[in-house]
Amino acid sequence: MRAFSRLALAFLALVACDTAGRVIVRGLSLPVPGTVIGILILLAAIVALRRVPEPLKETAEFLLAHLNFFYIPAGVGVMAYAALLADDLWPILVALFASTFLAMLAAGLAFQWTSRLTQGKDGGA
């Protein structure tokens, strides 16, 4: 029971950071999503603590391992735009597939080459 309440507390900490991020972004009308600010807030808190509390580590790792779950409603939402997608179906499919591969290729090679140039090794961490 105590373990559960500590996990619940860790989850509330995540919610608090996210909410604080959203409030800050809205208040200052920053062009970034609140969640990104939320990540920075939590990171600052962990740096100040100098360690990751065990329940927070467990909760965060569990949620990240199941990040896909939270994207399912967005996947279902695609259905609502089926008619719009059908208008330009082939250009859309070709553009999305080709562009995703090209972006992965460009970003991956740029990273790998620069890493070899600046660090003189493969990295391969």
Partner 1 sequence: MSDIGIKLIYWDRVLEAGFWILLTLFFYYLALRIQQALGGTPLANPVLLASAPIIALLVAADIWVGDYMGGGQALIWLLGPATVGLAVPLYRNFACVRSALVPMAVSLAVGSAVAVLSAVLIGDAMGASLETVRSLAPKSVTTPIAMGIAEEIGGYASLTAAFVIITGIIGAAFGSMFFNLCRIGDARARGFAMGIAAHGIGTARAFQEDEVSGTFSGAAMALNGIVTALVLPLLWLAFAG
Per CB under 8 A, contacts with partner 1 among 22-51 are 22, 31-36, 38-40, 42-43, 46-47
Find the shortest distance in angstroms from Cβ 74 to partner 1: 5
Q: Which residue has the tokens 């972006």?
A: 103
Q: Using CB under 8 A, which residues numbered 93 to 122 contact partner 1?
A: 94-112, 114-115, 118-119, 122
The CA distances from residue 110 to 64, 95, 96, 103, 117, in Å, are: 27, 22, 21, 10, 11
Contacting residue, 1, 48, 79, 86, with partner 1 by CB under 8 A: 79
Nearer to partner 1, 3 or 106 (CB): 106
Contacting residue, 28, 48, 65, 86, with partner 1 by CB under 8 A: 65
83 binds partner 1 (CB under 8 A): no
Find the shortest distance in angstroms from Cβ 40 to partner 1: 8
Burial 18-46, CB ≥16 within 10 A → b, else e: beebeebbeeeeeeeebeebbeebbeeee
Structure tokens at 49: 């603590």
11 binds partner 1 (CB under 8 A): yes
Contacting residue, 48, 78, 86, 120, with partner 1 by CB under 8 A: 78
List, in sequence order, the alpha helices (H) in the chain.
2-28, 34-49, 54-65, 67-77, 82-87, 89-119
